[in-house]
Amino acid sequence: MATNDNGGFGGGEAHDIEFAFGHKRPKGRRLTLGKNGAKAQAWRTVTKAPEVMVRVSGGGKNLQHVKAHFDYISRNGKLDMVNDQGERISGKDQVADLFDSWDMDLSKGQGTNRQAFNVVLSMPAGTDPEKVLAAAQGFARETLYGKHQYAMVLHTQESDPHKDAPAHPHVHLIIKAEGYDGKRLHIRKATLQTWRESFAEQLRDRGIEANATPRVVRGVTKKAKTPAIYHLEKRGESKVRAEKLNEAKTELNAGTQEMKPWERAILNRRNKTLREMLQAAKQYEGEGDIALATAIRQHAADLPKPETERHQLKKEIVEKVTRIRTQSKEAEQAHQVEKGTDKDR
């Protein structure tokens, strides 16, 4: 598959790119970047400060599903929940009482619309768990308080009774979709990015270095897998992956080099974003901050080449075939040596 040797990447997310380098404050952002704050943001980006993660992991479409998630994240009452009033909810009975207080049976669209959103906020392993929880509470209070009911649970490897508990501390946040005013919550891509920025700021307020750069600024081109797909692939049970592998094999055998429309779009975004990065570097250079301008240019040059899942699968197939051929050749050579040895005897 054709690739682009240019470093960096770009896209229609120009405001996000400018924000990541302190170059411009995007319209509607809560964060107020003064001159020093803008440069601090830029340095966090080029020095690759730990990235926060905020993702929607699903959401129930009826009250039974929502109650099941209450039980799941609280591990059936073994882990404390924290409600939107900051109160600790302990034990299975209190968790059930909290769920009942949400009056999920009165929400509209039962069985059709999501009645609640399941959101995960996390930081890398080694981050202070209690500060992660406090930051999640600060984020939720600022974003949701007085609008939607919500509750959260902190999961750590030490406290979570699950046998495969991950090492990184994370908070499961469940949000009632229907607000106090009857309006429903809609979570879009831009919403998640704004939430990431707010969560990162809450962490920094508590002394934890954290950043929330958009995927394009980090050079990430492959879409993140949903938890369901990830676990299916881990068990080798994903039909989607099997179909993609077969498609990749067919294209390799046919010698197909034509780029897919989305791959061409990725390259176009990468080139546009690279221009935005260099524009930010030029501006800082003009202000006399040579060190920051140099760091931004180096950040752009160090970005990985854009790679889609289709490209990665093709590489895996080629590497596997090469490995099998090498092993076969080595086995044949060993066999010939053995035959020669037998003749000498």
Of 303 and 17, the structure prediction assigns the larger pLDDT to 303
Q: Over the stretch 101-160, which tens digit does the pLDDT of each residue have?
A: 999 999 888 889 999 999 999 999 999 999 999 999 999 999 999 999 999 999 999 999
Of 100-104, 220-224, 257-261, least confident by mean pLDDT is 220-224
Position 264 pLDDT exceeds 60? yes
Q: What is the pLDDT of residue 319?
A: 78
Is residue 21 within 8 A of residue 286, CB to CB? The reply is no
For 177, other C-beta atoms within 10 Å of its C-beta total 24
Q: What is the pLDDT of residue 311?
A: 62
Q: What is the CATH number of domain 52-210?
A: 3.30.930.30
Q: pLDDT tier at 215 (50, 70, 90 boundaries)? A: confident
Of 277 and 54, the structure prediction assigns the larger pLDDT to 54
Of 255 and 302, the structure prediction assigns the larger pLDDT to 302
Question: What whole-number percentage of the chain has pLDDT above 90?
Answer: 48
Is residue 300 within 8 A of residue 315, CB to CB? The reply is no
Position 13 pLDDT exceeds 50? no
- Residue 249 structure tokens: 């094999």
Is residue 151 within 8 A of residue 83, CB to CB? The reply is yes
For residue 255, CA distances in Å to 1, 92, 242, 248, 314 come to: 9, 59, 20, 10, 11
* Residue ranges of domains in the chain: 1-49+220-345, 52-210
Per-residue HEC secondary structure of the chain comes to CCCCCCCCCCCCCHHHHHHHCCCCCCCCCCCCCCHHHHHHHHHHHHCCCCECEEEEEECCCCHHHHHHHHHHHCCCCCCCEEECCCCEECHHHHHHHHHHHCCHHHCCCCCCCCCEEEEEEECCCCCCHHHHHHHHHHHHHHHHCCCCCEEEEEECCCCCCCCCCCCCCEEEEEEECECCCCCECCCCHHHHHHHHHHHHHHHHHCCCCCECCCHHHHCCCCCCCCHHHHHHHHCCCCHHHHHHHHHHHHHHHHCCCCCCHHHHHHHHHHHHHHHHHHHHHHHHHHCCCHHHHHHHHHHHHHCCCCCCHHHHHHHHHHHHHHHHHHHHHHHHHHHHHHHHHHHHC
Please say whether the dihedral angle defined by the alpha carbons of residues 162, 137, 223 and 210, taken in this order, is positive or negative: negative
Q: Over the stretch 297-342, which tens digit does the pLDDT of each residue have?
A: 999 898 887 765 566 666 777 777 788 878 878 777 777 777 666 6
Q: What is the mean pLDDT of the chain?
A: 81
Q: What is the pLDDT of residue 89?
A: 97
For residue 21, what are the contacts with CB-CB under 8 A and spacing of at least 6? 41, 42, 45, 46, 277, 280, 296
Position 28 pLDDT exceeds 60? no
- Residue 275 structure tokens: 């221009």
Q: What is the pLDDT of residue 35?
A: 60
Q: At what angle do helices 129-144 and 189-205 cross, to 10 degrees?
A: 130
Q: What is the pLDDT of residue 27?
A: 46
Of 41, 29, 57, the residue nearest 210 (C-alpha): 41
Predicted TM-score of the model (pTM) = 0.72
Is residue 155 within 8 A of residue 170, CB to CB? The reply is yes
Position 193 pLDDT exceeds 50? yes
Of 301, 261, 258, 312, the residue nearest 277 (C-alpha): 301
Q: Over the stretch 74-88, which tens digit does the pLDDT of each residue have?
A: 999 999 999 999 999
